[in-house]
């Protein structure tokens, strides 16, 4: 069984996305390690999680105005359809095909992380930073743009200059 790289190099820099990708990778590892009797249930659990994860990503992409949303979502739809076919293979006892699908899904997941999820994470970080910057500019007029400790430190520096 190959192990997915979950090093910091594979991190997307957004904990909620890293956790979701890590859970997907963990469930996929369970599929790969499952014996024949447990394989269909492990695949169904992975499929259910993938559907949930992809739906969440679609919400994030729509809400943030991610430009590549259609391509990203289309890839999710195709993968979910293939995973559903895998559930049919499992139900019909074609476990060798299911194991091959799991191997290919691992490769897809790694590539998808680099080519689709990483740009989404970058976009979401930029949106978050932009929103924070706007909030900071709006808050400056009211003196609330920085935490209290930062305001106190700034006041201390002003007093030292006098």
Closest CA to 101 of 88, 115, 118: 88
- The confidence score (pLDDT) of residue 54 equals 97
All domains in the chain, ordered by first residue = 14-161 (1.20.120.50)
CA angle 22, 25, 31 (to 5 degrees): 145
Spell out, as residue ranges, where the chain has pLDDT lower than 70.
1-9, 131-162
- DSSP-assigned letter for residue 143: T
* Calpha distance 33→31 (Å, rounded): 5
Q: What is the pTM of this model?
A: 0.74
SS3 8: helix
- The confidence score (pLDDT) of residue 131 equals 65
* Calpha distance 124→117 (Å, rounded): 10
- The confidence score (pLDDT) of residue 13 equals 86
* Calpha distance 23→90 (Å, rounded): 22
């Amino acid at each position: 069984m190959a192990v997915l790289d979950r090093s910091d190099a594979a991190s997307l820099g957004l904990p909620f996305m890293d956790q979701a990708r890590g859970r997907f990778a963990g469930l996929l590892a369970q599929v790969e390690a499952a014996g024949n009797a447990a394989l269909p249930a492990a695949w169904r659990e992975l499929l259910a999680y993938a559907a949930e994860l992809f739906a969440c990503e679609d919400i994030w992409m729509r809400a943030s105005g991610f430009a590549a949303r259609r391509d990203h979502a289309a890839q999710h739809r195709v993968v979910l359809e293939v995973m559903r076919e895998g559930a049919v293979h499992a139900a019909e006892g074609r476990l060798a095909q299911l194991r091959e699908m799991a191997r290919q899904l691992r490769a897809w997941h790694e590539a998808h992380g680099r080519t689709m999820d990483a740009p989404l994470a970058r976009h979401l970080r930029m949106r978050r930073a932009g929103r924070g910057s706007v909030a900071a500019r709006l808050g400056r007029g009211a003196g609330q743009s920085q935490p209290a400790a930062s305001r106190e430190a700034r006041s201390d520096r002003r007093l030292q200059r006098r």
